[in-house]
Amino acid sequence: MKIFLDTASVEDIKIANDIIPLDGVTTNPTLILKEGKDYVKTLKEITKIVNGPISAETISLDAEGMVKEGKEFAKIHKNIVIKVPMTPEGMKACRIMTKSGIRINTTLIFSANQALLAAKAGTYLASPFLGRLDDIGEKGTELIKEMRQIYDNYGFKSQILAASIRSTDHVKEVAMMGADIATMPFKVYEQLFKHKLTDEGIKQFLDDWAKLQKDLKKK
Ligand code: E4P
């Protein structure tokens, strides 16, 4: 499974990418607002760090506006992927841009039927939002299972990008269910490395090493 960072923080992207190269990045207006920086400038910086799909989100509600914005974003770098919402206008925009060679990430997918439609429109990435489904009392990861089955049944090439990930358990579950990609906040990415037994094990080895040095000195 590919791992993307879901952030517009260039600093966090640099830190994560130095550990294990990231497979991609997703951004959205909320994430860029958090950083308070220019969107295009930030996207340019990210393309210099990460060699993989970098999603930039359109804000128009009509297909024409989305295509116009998408074409501008796509000029930034060949790795830019355009986010459009899962709406009829979004799917029109998806078809138009896909035809002209621009890759699309259909965002805000909350049902298997929406995912089916996004695949039929030729989306490159399909983004189900797990955490937000959990927030309204549904089981977000179920959607990944359903999408995997539908995409495999019909040989759709769209990649399932598990989004709105809130925990390391989400990451594990979507990996087991066969999501192609998981995009996650930096906080969750950091936690993936951690286990209390790893920390305890390191401490014990260091303590024993120090004891050995002491013993050797005595001899
Ligand atoms: C994905 O592309 C979205 O940016 C993101 O995962 C949304 O997550 P949230 O529900 O935590 O805002």
The predicted structure's pLDDT at residue 170: 98
Per-residue pLDDT of the chain (219 residues; tens, 9 = 90+): 999 999 999 999 999 999 999 999 999 999 999 999 999 999 999 999 999 999 999 999 999 999 999 999 999 999 999 999 999 999 999 999 999 999 999 999 999 999 999 999 999 999 999 999 999 999 999 999 999 999 999 999 999 999 999 999 999 999 999 999 999 999 999 999 999 999 999 999 999 999 999 999 998
Measure Cα distances from 16 to 25, 92, 100, 166, 191 in Å: 11, 35, 33, 17, 12
Residue 25 lies in a domain: yes
The ligand 1 atom nearest the CA atom of 105: 2
Residue 205 lies in a domain: no
**Which residue among the candidates 2, 83, 92, 120 is catalytic per the annotation?**
83
Residue 148 lies in a domain: yes
Residue 58 lies in a domain: yes
What is the span of the domain harbouring residue 136?
A: 2-193
DSSP β-bridge partners for residue 80 = 54
Residue 183 lies in a domain: yes
Indicate the helix (H) or strand (E) that contains 203: helix 196-218
CA–CA separation, 101 and 17 (whole Å): 27
Distance in Å, CA 157 to ligand 1 centroid: 22
Structural contact between residues 5 and 188, judged by C-beta atoms closer than 8 angstroms: no
Q: What Rg, from alpha-carbon coordinates, does the chain have?
A: 21
Residue 178 lies in a domain: yes
CA–CA separation, 92 and 74 (whole Å): 17
- How close are the terminal C-alpha atoms of the chain, in Å? 52
Residue 71 lies in a domain: yes
Q: Residue 71 is part of a domain; what is its CATH number?
A: 3.20.20.70
181 lines ligand 1 (CB under 6 A): no
CA–CA separation, 162 and 143 (whole Å): 9
The ligand 1 atom nearest the CA atom of 132: 10
106 lines ligand 1 (CB under 6 A): no
For the chain, what is the domain count? 1
Strand blocks (E) in the chain: 2-6, 24-26, 54-57, 80-85, 104-109, 125-128, 159-162, 181-184
- The yes-or-no answer on residue 219 being catalytic is no
Q: How many other C-beta atoms lie within 10 A of the C-beta of residue 22?
A: 23
The predicted structure's pLDDT at residue 219: 82
Query: What's the angle, vertex CA 21, arms to CA 15 and CA 196, rounded to 5?
Result: 65
Residue 214 lies in a domain: no
6 lines ligand 1 (CB under 6 A): yes
The whole-model pTM stands at 0.95
The predicted structure's pLDDT at residue 190: 97
Residue 53, classified by CB atoms within 10 Å of its CB into exposed (0-12), middle (13-18) or buried (19+), is: buried
Closest CA to 76 of 111, 33, 98, 45: 45
